[in-house]
Structures are given as C-alpha cells and as structure tokens.
Structure 1
Amino acid sequence: MKQHLYIEMDNCIGCRSCLAACTQCGGHDERNRNYVYDVNPLVTRQTIPLMCLHCVNPACARSCPAQAIQITEEGAVLSALVEKCIGCQNCTIACPYGIPKFDEEQNLMYKCDLCYDRTKEGIPPMCASVCPTNTLQWLTEEELAAKQAQHKLGKWTASHQPFDPLEGETNVKISLPGILQGTQKLF
C-alpha cells in the first residue's frame, strides 16, 4: 500500500518538533534536513515547514552529471551518494524549491530522503511521527483521496507559465487552503 507525506501548511505552529525528529532519523548524522520558515516574523507568527517534495521527475537528479541522486521505487528522492557525488552543486542550483544543501566539509549534497529506512517499511517519517498539530501526516492513498476531495488539491508548479512548468507533480502532497483562501484557523 503506497503512502504519501501530506503537509497541511496552515496547521504549523512553529514548534520545530519536526526539525528535532529529523536529526534523529537513521543515517542523518544528526543533521537537520528539513526547515521551518517564519513567513513574516515582524508581522505574524505564521510558520511553514519546508522539505523536499520528492518530485516525480526531479530537477536535482536530472542535473546531476554523476547520477549520484537516486529515486526509489516508492518515489523518494535520496540525498547524493557519497561514492558518486562530485560536489558540482548542480542539484542545489537546479531545484526550484531551494531544498538541497551542500556541505563543503564533506563535499556532499544532502536533503530530506523521506526517512527512507522507515518509509520503505510503511513507518511514517520522523517528522510526521512527532508533529503535534498534524501539519505533517503520513497518509494512505484512500486517506489522501479524502483530503484531496476536501481541499481540492492540484499539482504544484514552480513556473509562472502553466504550459511549461519546471516540476509538475510531487510525491509529497501539500494543502494551503487557509493561506490561499484567506481564512484563518483557530487552534
């Protein structure tokens, strides 16, 4: 049964539990691979989690001349393989979402790998397993279909040209109903 990470952005309260959990995931070397962005800290307390969207046809992998970025059968786009990465940083430039980061000490790109050691076994990624507000959820196809019907989720595009999007579909699904519709949630 395929599952997806689902992000309901307007639920985020900025607790950063997801960041703490990310450092504890196996193979992350206590390095945080997700981010929490303060939307406008001088005006509001609104925060949103930023993480790899695991694109179906990822620009980071397409731009890698060493084929160091692998895509799993489940759709997870993994960090660069140590033995293949040449440190060219094409992936960090190519990603329209600005997610991959480059570690100059290790000469290696790293990013969210959807806790692949967990998710391949059907266990939620660390960030979703600790989120107190259900901003990050690990959903089955049926649960995701119900969310899509509720919020009318579409495809993400990173281009202003609808006929030539940079990325058309992602494995991580996002909902911005409150933000896009101008409504506010009360927690």
Structure 2
Amino acid sequence: MKQLLYIEMDNCIGCRSCLAACTQCGGHDERNRNYVYDVNPLVNRQTIPLMCLHCVNPACARSCPAQAIQVTEEGAVLSALVEKCIGCQNCTIACPYGIPKFDEEQNLMYKCDLCYDRTKEGIPPMCASVCPTNTLQWITEEEFAAKQEKHRLGKWMSSRMPENPLEGETHVKINLPGILQGTEKLF
C-alpha cells in the first residue's frame, strides 16, 4: 500500500517539533532539513512547515551535472551523494521551492529525503510521527482521495492538478491555508 506525506498547513501552530525530529532521523547528521516559516509575524502567529515536495520530475536532479541526486523507486528525492556531488549548487538554484541548501564546509547539498530509511519500510517520516496537530500526516492514497473528496481539494493543491499546475507533479501533497480558499480558521 503506497503512502504519501500530506501537509495540512492550517493546522500548524509553530511548535517546531518537526524540526527537532528531523535532526534525529538516521543519516541527517543532526542537521535540520525542514523549515517552519512565520507567514506574517507582524500581524499574526500563522506558521507553515516547508520541506522538499519530492517532485516526480525534480528540477534539482535534472540540473545536476554529476548525477549526484537520486530518485528512489518510491519517489523520494534524496540529498546529493557525497561521492558524486561537485558543489556546483545548480540544484539550489533550480528548485522552484528553494528547498536544497548548500553546506560550504562539506561542499555538499542537503535537503529532506523523506526519511527514506524509515519510509521505505512503511514507517512515517520523523516529522509526521511527532506532529501534535496533524499538520504533517503520513497517509495512504485512499485516505488522500477521501480528503480530496471531503474538502474538495484541487485548485489549491501544490501537487499538479489539471486546473492549476505548478512545477509539476509532486509526491508530497499540500492543502494550502484556508484563507486562500475563502474559509477562516477556527482557532
């Protein structure tokens, strides 16, 4: 049964548990690979989590002349391979979402790899396993279809839909804040 990361941005309370959990994922060398942004800090406390969307045809991998960025069969786009990365930073420039970061000390790109050591075994990524508000959810495709039907998602999904494509199809699905959909938050 295929599972995917679903982000319901309206639920984010800015606790940053996902960031702490990210540093604890195997192979991350205690380096955070996700972000939590304050949307408009002078007006309200709305925050949103942001991590790699694991594009089906990732611009970061397409732009890498050394083929250091691998895409797994499950769709996870991995960080640059140490033995191949030449430090050109093409990937950081090519990503339309600004996700890959470059570590100058190691001369290496790093980004969210969807906790591939866990997700390939069906275990949720660290960020989703600790999120107290279900902003980050590890769900099946059937559960995602039910959410789409219930909330009539489509227009405001970041992942490619015929009505509103962005970069292209992504493996991570996002429900953008309700304010964009003409609804108000209840909290």
Q: Secondary structure at the residue paired with 1:139?
A: strand
Q: Secondary structure at the residue paired with 2:153?
A: coil
Following TM superposition, where does structure 1 have runs of at least 4 consecutive aligned residues deviating by more than 4 angstroms? 155-166
Which digits, 9 at most, give the CA deviation of each residue in 1:49-75, with x for residues without a partner? 010000000000000000000000000
1:160/1:61 Cα in 2 relative to 1: closer, same or farther (>3 Å)?
Answer: closer
Which digits, 9 at most, give the CA deviation of each residue in 1:116-174, with x for residues without a partner? 00000000000000000000000011101111112333378989999996622100000
TM-score (norm 2): 0.93
Query: Contact 2:155–2:161 (CA<8 Å) still a contact in 1?
Result: no
Distance apart, 1:183 and its partner CA: 2.1
Which digits, 9 at most, give the CA deviation of each residue in 1:24-49, with x for residues without a partner? 00000000000000001010100000
TM-score (norm 1): 0.93
Which digits, 9 at most, give the CA deviation of each residue in 1:62-96, with x for residues without a partner? 00000000000000000000000000000000000
Distance apart, 1:185 and its partner CA: 2.4
Q: Secondary structure at the residue paired with 2:145?
A: helix
CA–CA separation in structure 2 for the residues paired with 1:80 and 1:21 = 21
Q: Secondary structure at the residue paired with 2:178?
A: helix
CA–CA separation in structure 1 for the residues paired with 2:58 and 2:72 = 12
Distance apart, 1:176 and its partner CA: 1.7
Q: Secondary structure at the residue paired with 1:134?
A: coil
The count of corresponding residues between Structure 1 and Structure 2 is 187
1:159/1:143 Cα in 2 relative to 1: closer, same or farther (>3 Å)?
Answer: closer
Task: Give ranges in structure 1 of 5+ residues lacking alignment.
Answer: none
The 5 Å alignment of 1:112-151 reads 112-151=112-151
Bigger drift between 105-114 and 144-153 goes to: 144-153
CA–CA separation in structure 1 for the residues paired with 2:155 and 2:58 = 14
1:15/1:164 Cα in 2 relative to 1: closer, same or farther (>3 Å)?
Answer: closer
1:64/1:91 Cα in 2 relative to 1: closer, same or farther (>3 Å)?
Answer: same
CA–CA separation in structure 1 for the residues paired with 2:155 and 2:178 = 17
Bigger drift between 103-112 and 167-176 goes to: 167-176
CA–CA separation in structure 1 for the residues paired with 2:160 and 2:37 = 23
Q: CA-atom RMSD, angstroms?
A: 2.5
Q: Does 1:24 align with 2:27?
A: no
Q: Secondary structure at the residue paired with 2:127?
A: helix
Query: Contact 1:96–1:166 (CA<8 Å) still a contact in 2?
Result: no
Bigger drift between 140-149 and 13-22 goes to: 140-149
Q: Secondary structure at the residue paired with 1:6?
A: strand
Q: Secondary structure at the residue paired with 1:138?
A: strand
CA–CA separation in structure 2 for the residues paired with 1:125 and 1:45 = 26
1:86/1:165 Cα in 2 relative to 1: closer, same or farther (>3 Å)?
Answer: farther
CA–CA separation in structure 2 for the residues paired with 1:156 and 1:86 = 37
Percent of aligned pairs sharing the same letter: 91
Counterpart of 2:100 in structure 1 is 100
Counterpart of 1:6 in structure 2 is 6
